[in-house]
Amino acid sequence: MKLHEYQAKSLFADAGIPVPDSRLATSVDEALGAVDEIGYPAAIKAQVHVGGRGKAGGIKIATDREEAEQYADEILGMDLKGYTVDQVLVEAGVDFVDELYVGVTMDRGEGKPVLMVSTEGGVNIEEVAESNPDAIAREHVDPAFGLHPYQARKVVYEAGVDADVALDVASILSTLYDLYEENDASEIEVNPVMITGDRDVVAADAVMNIDEDALFRQSDLADMAEASYEDDLERKAGEYGFDYVRLSGNVGIIGNGAGLVMTTLDLVDYYGGAPANFLDIGGGAKAERVTQALDMVFSDDNVDAVVFNIFGGITRGDEVAKGINEALEQFDEIPKKVVVRLAGTNAEEGMEILNTDLVEVEKTLEDAVQRAVANAEEVTQ
Amino acid sequence: MSIFVDDDTRVVVQGITGGEGKFHAGQMIEYGTNVVAGAVPGKGGQEVHGVPVYDTVDEAVEAEDADASVIFVPPAFAADAIFESLDTDLDLAVAITEGIPTQDMAKVNKRLDETDTRLIGPNCPGIITPGEAKLGILPGNIFSEGNVGLVSRSGTLTYQVVDNLTERGLGQSTAIGIGGDPIIGTSFVDALEAFEADTDTDAVVMCGEIGGEDEEQAAKFIGEHMDTPVAGFIAGRTAPPGKRMGHAGAIVSGSGTGTAQSKIDALNDAGVPVGDTPEEVADHVEDFL
């Protein structure tokens, strides 16, 4: 779960990390009220869950009231990589002389959290990691002990941060690690940490992602979650509780288990089709889930044909077949051709139940995918 | 022979009185697995499917000589259940639970370094040695006895590939689902090392997916240390960057690491043929044998 910049910064501020003075605004009037209090220059920053906001035109620096009005008007309501901007953070501009990158994340390979510091802040850190990996200093943390303060100092000095601000940066890093642990974050990144002419250190941006699997014990953060969906379909998937990802093709895909659904997508592509979505109905799905899943793909205007592939372990083929029949019997005319393939637990019972007036049936995954791809081609021709 | 589990494995089921634990304990017993005990705090003295339940894993080991556990415990309590298995010095712990917080698993991972217990999972379907024992939720009826080892990150994809193998009469020595989480106990390399040492495994199938670098490390291991032939499959070729494809671990990072192509290239470089379809994986295995 991603937090907005303003949410992360409020956690930073509460923990004692210096952040610029700022206000959240949802209208041009509110934004102007905010700049009147904060003064100029002021940054107007779109609060949406996408990276590269600056380059995409979602962050502007206003030097007077006229500019502030113009930028707030431009950014509020704009479409930023598929997301509509409905709130901006109005923030005091920082007069900086240097920019750093600091972050805490989980190193999967090591199974340990890792601190990262670089003096090449303010630019895309992933590009730095590619082109100049030595420019990022790293320090792993033993998760059983937590962070020893010396480790934060060590990694800051190793990165070559100026000596007069090194201890301030190390202190920010220590606090970030505490926040990482307390909030079950999967990642915290400050890019940039700005160093001002007066040698003050300020967290000018904030990226904070929370481990969704830990939300059961992070109820305050769960309440902060602002459902932000790219479109109505993702919203619907969220409501149904499906693992769903929308893609650009026209073959709708429903299956069980992440690996098998991914494989089904790959096979659609392999046989010359284009997958429209990833939709995992999960283990042990009953008839109702099946109905909801079909509703999802039928509501997607891009979908021309559907493949429904189930390999039952804990999911039972007869339950799935019942759900498919129930869902399709509601229609006078089936909106999109559905190819079904059932294997595993109770698959044979399921095949017998399936109403073949409503669906096409195939025995193997490969055959089912090829038939769905052909069905989709028929529609587009 | 086989790896990690066989006829002699004595299993304690943690969470045997819960819905899933109870159902799958029954399925495991029906398959012929030696389920000797259950462990559930506060439920000591009960019986489930005729199996005695104890309050702690320690008591279950003491009374029934269990040497392996299967964990069906909800996410909030699962790390604690894994620690209980590790601290009781079992040979093997299989964690089925999906949705354990990653920072909990980092702590478990640290403890794993200090014990001799092997952890499989979490968020995995378990392990099966066909005809001998099944620890987990895999549907026993699709497996058949044979000499093909299988290791996979995904449950249902495992079933699909096993089905393709069984259909052609290619039975399995042992099949392991290692789990789809970012931090897991047994890695591809651990499983491959065991299959290489197993005299009854003559070919291996490895099913990976996008995210992380485990498949790349496995490729390196195969190239340097394995004589047993390996066929590969990688799911997620069409996955867009930055989107979590169901599994918490299945995500191509913004910088392009963890892609299917990098994994396929690494495997090919190690001499491992990678099937475009599950059917093609079975073709490769047939060629090996």
DSSP symbols for A273-331: --B-EEEE--TT--HHHHHHHHHHHHT-TT--EEEEEEEESSS-HHHHHHHHHHHHHT-
Backbone angles phi, psi at A270, to 5 degrees: -60, -40
Residues A286 and A249 in one domain: yes
Number of structural domains (chain B) is: 2
- Does residue B133 form part of some domain? no
- Does residue A337 form part of some domain? yes
- CA gap B239, B260 in Å, rounded: 9
**pTM (two decimals):** 0.92
CATH number at residue A83: 3.30.1490.20
Residue among B138, B237, B243 minimizing CB distance to A269: B237
- CA gap B53, A140 in Å, rounded: 41
CA distances to A235, A280, A313, B135, B265 from A277, in Å: 14, 10, 23, 33, 26
Q: Nearest C-alpha of chain A: how many angstroms from B147?
A: 22
Residue among A51, A212, A278 minimizing CB distance to B245: A278
A271 is catalytic: no
pLDDT recorded at residue B289: 92
- Does residue A109 form part of some domain? yes
Q: Which residues of B touch A257 (CB under 8 A)?
A: 154-157, 246
pLDDT recorded at residue A228: 58
- CA gap B258, B241 in Å, rounded: 9
CB contact under 8 A, B157 and A255: no
Range of the domain at B159: 139-289
What average pLDDT does the segment A77-105 reach?
Answer: 93
Residues B250 and B108 in one domain: no
Residues A119 and A195 in one domain: yes
pLDDT recorded at residue A87: 95
User: Please, what's the b/e burial string for A317-327 (b: 16 or more CB within 10 A of its CB; e: otherwise)?
Assistant: bbbbbbbbbeb
pLDDT recorded at residue A226: 64
Which of A333-337, A377-381, B54-58 is predicted most confidently?
Answer: B54-58
Number of structural domains (chain A) is: 3
Cβ under 8 Å to A: B residues 225-264 = 233, 235-240, 243-250, 253-255, 260
Pairing outcome for strands B35-39 and A360-361: unpaired
Boundary residue ending a domain (A224, A242, A268): A224
**Which residue is closest to B212 within chain A, CA to CA?**
A108
- Does residue B53 form part of some domain? yes
Any idea of the CA torsion for B235, B240, B241, B242, to the nearest 10 degrees? -100
Length of chain B: 289
> Is B199 in CB contact (< 8 Å) with chain A?
no
**Which residue is closest to A255 within chain B, CA to CA?**
B156
Boundary residue ending a domain (A162, A196, A224): A224
Residues B54 and B23 in one domain: yes
pLDDT recorded at residue A109: 85
Residues A154 and A287 in one domain: no
Return the percentage of chain A with pLDDT > 70, whole number: 98
Q: How confident is the model at residue A132 (pLDDT cuts 50, 70, 90)?
A: confident
Cβ under 8 Å to B: A residues 155-214 = 181, 184, 186, 211-214
Return the percentage of chain A with pLDDT > 90, whole number: 74
Instruction: Report CA A23 to chain centroid distance, whole Å.
Output: 24
- Does residue B240 form part of some domain? yes
- Does residue B132 form part of some domain? no
Residues A181 and A240 in one domain: no
For chain B, strand residue ranges (E) read: 11-14, 35-39, 47-48, 51-54, 68-71, 92-95, 118-120, 126-129, 133-136, 145-152, 172-177, 203-209, 230-235
Q: Which pLDDT tens digits describe chain B residue by residue (289 residues)?
A: 699 999 999 999 999 999 889 999 999 999 999 999 999 999 999 999 999 999 999 999 999 999 999 999 999 999 999 999 999 999 999 999 999 999 999 999 999 999 999 999 999 999 999 999 999 999 999 999 999 999 999 889 999 999 999 999 999 999 999 998 999 999 999 999 999 999 999 999 999 999 888 999 999 999 999 999 999 999 999 998 877 787 767 777 655 678 999 999 999 999 999 999 999 999 999 999 9
CB contact under 8 A, B137 and A313: yes
Residues A237 and A372 in one domain: yes
Sheet of strand A305-312: strand arrangement: A243-246, A277-280, A251-255, A305-312, A337-344, A360-361
Q: Nearest C-alpha of chain A: how many angstroms from B36?
A: 23
**Is this prediction's ipTM beyond 0.95?**
no
What average pLDDT does the segment A281-295 reach?
Answer: 86
Sheet of strand B47-48: strand arrangement: B47-48, B51-54, B35-39, B11-14, B68-71, B92-95, B118-120
Answer for the pair A200, A18: CB distance below 8 angstroms, yes or no.
yes
Q: Which residues of A touch B255 (CB under 8 A)?
A: 126-127, 129-130
Q: Exposed, middle or buried by CB within 10 Å (0-12, 13-18, 19+), for B110?
A: middle
Residues B35 and B95 in one domain: yes
CA distances to A23, A34, B58 from B44, in Å: 57, 62, 12
Residues B85 and B159 in one domain: no
- Does residue B24 form part of some domain? yes
Q: Which residue has the higher pLDDT, B133 or A233?
A: B133
Q: Which residues of A touch B212 (CB under 8 A)?
A: 108-109
Interface test with B, best of A180, A263, A277, A286 (most B CBs within 10 A): A263
Look over chain A and give the mean of its residue pLDDT values, rounded to a whole number. 92
Cβ under 8 Å to B: A residues 39-78 = 51
Range of the domain at A314: 232-380
pLDDT recorded at residue A6: 96
What average pLDDT does the segment A286-295 reach?
Answer: 89
**Which residue is closest to B167 within chain A, CA to CA?**
A364
- Does residue B42 form part of some domain? yes
B284 is catalytic: no
According to DSSP, residue A58 is labeled -
Residues A100 and A153 in one domain: yes
